[in-house]
Every structure is written in C-alpha cells, then in structure tokens.
Amino acid sequence: MLVDRGPLSSAYLAHSPAGDVASIASRVDVRRRGVAVGSARVRFGADPRAHAFDSLELPVGTVDAAGAEVLVSIESDEVTGALVVARDGRVEAGFPFFDWEARCLDETYVDLSQPLYSRLPVSYGIVPFMARAALLRVAGAVRTHVLPKKKGVSAGPSFPEYPVCGVVDRMRTEVLRGLSLGEAPISFTRPRGTLVLSHDMDELSALPGVEKLRAIERRHAMTSSWGILSEKYRMPRASVTSLVDEGCEIFSHGYLHDGRLPYLSRAEQLRRLRHFFEAYPMLRGHTRGFRCGQLARSRSLYSAVQQVFDYDLTPPTTERGGPYGARSGVSTVFPFWNEGGLLHLPLTLPQDYFLAFVERLSGPEIADRWISAATDVLGMGGVAMHLIHPDNVLRSSVLLDAYDRFLRWARDEGIDVRLPGEVAQRFGARPVAHAV
Ligand SMILES: [Zn+2]
C-alpha cells in the first residue's frame, strides 16, 4: 500500500490524529474483487454532477450501503451502486483506492515510451507550427466524431476529464470526510487555493514576447516564473537579470526542446540538466525548478531531475493530444511527491497553445476557459498552474487580450498569486546540492 508518498503523505499526514499515515490507511477497507471498468461515471456525496471514472485495470465491485453513508456512487455497464461508504468511523471502498490513486499520479496507465516524432532523424520543428496545430485539430475531431463509441455509458467525458480533472482529489476528500477527518484534501493549502503564473520560452525569437507579458503582469502587480533553455539558445544576461530583479523566478526548461531528454542514458540526462548552470552561472542558487520541453516525461527523467532540481513542473493534470496520445495526466490539482520523492507541481490549467491554435478561440473565450478552469481548481483548494508562451503571444495577439482579462479577474477576486518556488517550499521541497 502506497500511503507514505504522493499527496497522501501530506494530505493524510495532515489529517492523521496519530501523526502517521498508516493509521489513516488502517481505517480504509478496500475490495480486491470485481471487474475493471473503463468507462464509468461517479458522483461524490451530495454533489449531483457526474464525473468520468476509469478504474485503470483495477477490480471494482459495489459495497453494502445498508446503514452506511454513501460517499461515492458509480454507474457503468459493469457495476452500478455504492462505491465508497462510511460506517462506524471506517470507510469501505469497492476498489483498491490507494493503488488507484498511485496509478493516476504515476501515470502508469499511460504509455510514456518515446513518441514516434521524437525518434525521427529530423526535428519535429521542421513541421510548420500552424500545420501541427491543424493536425491536432483533425486528431481531436477523429476522436470525438469518428471513432466508434461503446454503447451504454460511453457518452460523456472520459477519464481524466478535460480541461480540469479533480477526480482523484475528490475521491480522497470523500475518504477523509468519511473518516471524519475534515473536508480539505490538504489542510495547509490556503482555503481558496493559489495561482501560479508560468511561461516557457521555446525560441530566442520569443524575447519580445517576454516584455509584452511582463507589461500585463506589472499592470496587475504580479510576478511570474520563466522556463528557459540552455543549449537551443542563450537568453541574454540582461534579460535574465532584469526578470530576477523584478522578483520573477527562472526555472530550467531543459536543453534542446527536442523531446528526447526522457529517453537518453542517465549520464546524458544529467549532463544536459546540469548544463543549465554552466549556461547561466548567475542562476546558481536561484533556479530550483524544471519543466521538460513539450512536457515530455518518463520515470527515468524524473529520477535524474531529482538529482539536479528541487521540484518539477512537467506533468499536466490532464492532457488530450499531447506527446502521449489521446489521454494522459496525473489527475490531481495538488502538488505531490512521486514514488522516488520528487515534488511535482502539475500543470492544472489548459495551455495557451491548444486554446488559441487548435481550438482557435477568441481572447474573451480563452479568458473564460482559464477563469472557469481556475475557479474549479481553486474551489478544491488546489494550485492553479497557468502557462502562456512568449512565443505564442507573438503569433496571436488574442492571447495577450485573454491574459490581461484573466489577470484582471484574478486581481479583482483577490486570488493568492505565488511563484512555483514559494509553493514548493510550502509543500516541503528541500534544496538539492546543485547550487554549490
Ligand atoms: Zn516548451
């Protein structure tokens, strides 16, 4: 049972009367018989909304609801009824809850092997930007309209839900509530959640976009975090120091942005990761975070990242049509430690790229998507991680309008805006020895 890591280690520790996680786990009884369900809907407590659920190959059965409080119910072709109930200070779950949570967080349900395009001898960059967006649009339409649907409950969103998936967090909250241990998934998250502004700079030609984004942020008195590359280009020293002097944070976006970092030997991964501090020696002691280009990821990369950086911003909460196909994502809106002990701050909000170039929305429509997704994430007390590229704001001016509207909303709502390093520190990240 995997209760001593992940958000479990913080959420459960925070709620444990005995100050350990085992005492929480010992009060949750899980069933290990039943059938795997791939397309189900669940409902949480009194909330009438249905959410997509997939047992990720784990067996599911219903539990006896007589004399119990039903916390979660399930509807599917295979299994329908009570899924999680509370009775006499204990919780009974109709599936191996802790294992399921771990499968979501570790993305073991996703094939994270090297995508074909990053194995080609030419760079993916050779396919023009707009052509790639068009291909993704076609792929999305095929998934939505052409692929044969299973009969029964297959209509409706699939797991993990897009653009926000909080099913893991809601499930955990219900379990804790059933144990009378409170509502909040993680008690030391501020009740209204936190917003983090991040930017990945993919090309040096995006430099004018940096100032355009900063101008908007200054208007709303906000600072942000910037991912830069170490080998594909060098950001001019003056640009680096001016961001740092303004109170912004700089994290590593990797080496070349070629999608290959997760699939190299450990020695080459470490060489490329450490190269960041050779390219930008002035960022030793400042840069503590990393997000891999293209959100490419593997367990091997994570374990190398852990030797060089204090936290990782790579995995998306939910992604459609990224490097790993139709669906992927860690399905949580909270930072969490992975199996090896690396702190992840997931990308919880929909990316600028998909909204502007794949869905081709207007500025107000994009802002509405961000506000609605952020409202969901913050409503769960989570960390709303926003990403907009300086590269993309030079390609589409609607993104600047959308960003301005989004930040105005955040300011008017009085939302807590933090740098990733501050959030990581709050979640207990400790410095590694790279900065010496
Ligand atoms: Zn990038």
Ligand 1 centroid to residue 125 C-alpha, Å: 12
CA 68, CA 127: separation in Å to the nearest integer?
57
CA 168, CA 57: separation in Å to the nearest integer?
16
Q: Is there a domain that residue 1 lies in?
A: no
Question: Which structural domain range is residue 18 located in?
Answer: 6-106
Total structural domains within the chain: 2
Residue 149's pLDDT is 45
My answer on whether 66 and 201 are in the same domain is no
My answer on whether 71 and 204 are in the same domain is no
Ligand 1 centroid to residue 202 C-alpha, Å: 5
Residue at a domain's end among 65, 89, 106: 106
Ligand 1 centroid to residue 153 C-alpha, Å: 37
Ligand 1 centroid to residue 312 C-alpha, Å: 14
* Paired strand residues for 30: 93
Residue at a domain's end among 61, 77, 106: 106
My answer on whether 249 and 375 are in the same domain is yes
Q: Is there a domain that residue 412 lies in?
A: yes
Ligand 1 centroid to residue 204 C-alpha, Å: 12
- Are β-strands 40-44 and 311-312 bridged in parallel, bridged antiparallel, or unpaired? unpaired
My answer on whether 272 and 376 are in the same domain is yes
Residue 436's pLDDT is 38
CA 367, CA 402: separation in Å to the nearest integer?
5
Contacts of residue 279, defined as CB under 8 A and 6 or more positions apart, other chains included, come to 230, 231, 234
Which strand (E) or helix (H) includes residue 371? helix 363-379
182, 173 Cβ separation under 8 angstroms: no
Q: Return the closest-CA partner of residue 222 out of 71, 58, 406.
A: 406
Ligand 1 centroid to residue 200 C-alpha, Å: 5
What does the pLDDT look like over 83-106, one tens digit per residue? Answer: 999 999 899 999 999 899 989 998
Residue 1's pLDDT is 39
Q: Which two tokens stand for residue 435?
A: 């900065």
Q: Which two tokens stand for residue 377?
A: 């994430």
Ligand 1 centroid to residue 41 C-alpha, Å: 34
Contacts of residue 306, defined as CB under 8 A and 6 or more positions apart, other chains included, come to 312, 340, 341, 342, 432
Ligand 1 centroid to residue 389 C-alpha, Å: 8
Residue 419's pLDDT is 97
Count other C-beta atoms under 10 Å from residue 119's C-beta.
Answer: 11
My answer on whether 264 and 384 are in the same domain is yes
Residue at a domain's end among 47, 75, 106: 106
My answer on whether 201 and 100 are in the same domain is no
User: Model's pTM, two decimal places?
Assistant: 0.89
Residue 90's pLDDT is 94
Q: Is there a domain that residue 176 lies in?
A: no
For position 339, which CATH number holds? 3.20.20.370
Q: Is there a domain that residue 257 lies in?
A: yes
Cα separations (Å) of 53 from 33, 58, 308, 406, 410? Answer: 18, 12, 36, 30, 31
Residue 146's pLDDT is 47
Ligand 1 centroid to residue 434 C-alpha, Å: 23
My answer on whether 88 and 213 are in the same domain is no
What does the pLDDT look like over 26-44, one tens digit per residue? Answer: 899 999 999 999 989 999 9
Q: Is there a domain that residue 381 lies in?
A: yes
Torsion sign (Cα): 267, 272, 277, 279: positive
My answer on whether 77 and 200 are in the same domain is no
Cα separations (Å) of 360 from 2, 55, 184, 363, 425? Answer: 42, 33, 36, 10, 37
225, 251 Cβ separation under 8 angstroms: yes
What does the pLDDT look like over 176-233, one tens digit per residue? Answer: 889 887 665 554 455 678 999 999 999 999 999 999 999 999 999 999 999 999 999 9
Q: Residues in the chain with pLDDT < 70?
A: 1-11, 14, 19, 116-128, 132, 138-156, 182-191, 433-436
